[in-house]
Amino acid sequence: MLVGCGPKVPLPPSGDHIKVPFVAPRSDLCAATSIEMLSSYWRLTTPYTPRLSREELDARTLIPVKGGTLQIELMATARANGLLAYTLTPTFDALLRELEKQHPVIVLLNRGYAWYPLWHYAPVTGYNKKDQTILMHFSDRPHEAMRIATFKRLWERSSNWGVVLLPPEHLPATATSKAFLRSAYDLERTGLRDEAIIAYRSALKRWPREIDILFALANSYYHANKFTLAEKYYRELLSIEPKHPLALNNLADLLCHRGRQNEAMATIRKAVSDNSKIQSIINATGKEIRKGCTPQGKK
């Protein structure tokens, strides 16, 4: 190899690839091995520790009658393993941009035809501009080079489905704030609140004034009984958008649960919404506060 992998090189140089450890295929388990390969890559390059064993990855992904794994369960299992799963915009350009950032991408390919589908997951590990090839851990071949024209044909049969799996401190190169928030929230509602909080916080580093992220983070802290932090982020949100009805409502509720009735009352009075469902929540909170606020340590 002539060129090293300096940080300023825009694309992995010719013949170079992301150092994703290769895992030999196990029958019908290419989703599990793909997750395993990416998990070991992140374990080697970041403080990330996988939550699931190889056996658990296998047991959670295989559907014996289908002889394979659905995209849904690949995503769900990656999350259960402590990784944020972000589905890419279905373009070749998005794939290259993630590779540039040293983010391996799991793609779904159809190795056959629509009338004779042979679906296969493979982690993409590099791109060779000179040879016009894509490098993948393809079945039993590490860093197999495939002509880009062929790759594109196989990939478009899955409508260019690809996903990056990242430790929650890391953001996809191609992330939009809305779609990233969704992926982070998917962690939270499938039981990985700590990981979700880390993800919201890293999102705020890129989008510090994004209202929705502040709201999600504050809610998360509230549900985790971290009241001081929750209050801090509701207030930060309200400093940007003072009339945000949902944030006012939740902050008022929090203040009431902390026994600060006057502040709670003053806050809920500012909340008003055109949406009847939201307004009915606001009304219920107001009623609750008027009944009296007693401090609660734990919910």
Using CB under 8 A as the binding rule, the residues of this chain from 239 to 298 that contact other proteins are 246, 249-250, 253, 275, 277-278, 280-281, 284-285, 288
Both structure tokens of 1: 């190899």
What x/- string results for residues 185 through 224 when contact with other proteins is judged by CB under 8 A? Answer: xx-xxxx--------------------x--xx--xx-xx-
Q: Which is nearer to other proteins, 18 or 255 (CB)?
A: 255
Q: State in angstroms the smallest separation of the CB of 244 from other proteins.
A: 10
Q: Which is nearer to other proteins, 174 or 183 (CB)?
A: 183
Q: State in angstroms the smallest separation of the CB of 3 from other proteins.
A: 26
Cα 121 to Cα 124: distance, rounded to the nearest angstrom: 10
- Which 116-175 residues touch other proteins, going by CB under 8 A? 116-121, 138-141, 146-147, 149-150, 153-154, 158
- Which 12-71 residues touch other proteins, going by CB under 8 A? 25, 27-31, 59-60, 62-71
3-state secondary structure of 164: strand
Give the closest residue to 16 by CA, choosing from 108, 101, 128: 128
Give the closest residue to 107 by CA, choosing from 121, 88, 91, 92: 121
Contact 237, 218 (CB under 8 A): yes
- Where does this chain touch other proteins (CB under 8 A) — which range of 11-19, 40-48, 181-189, 201-209? 181-189
Starting at the edge strand that comes first in sequence, how are the strands of the sheet with 119-128 ordered?
A: 84-87, 162-166, 105-110, 119-128, 133-138, 141-147
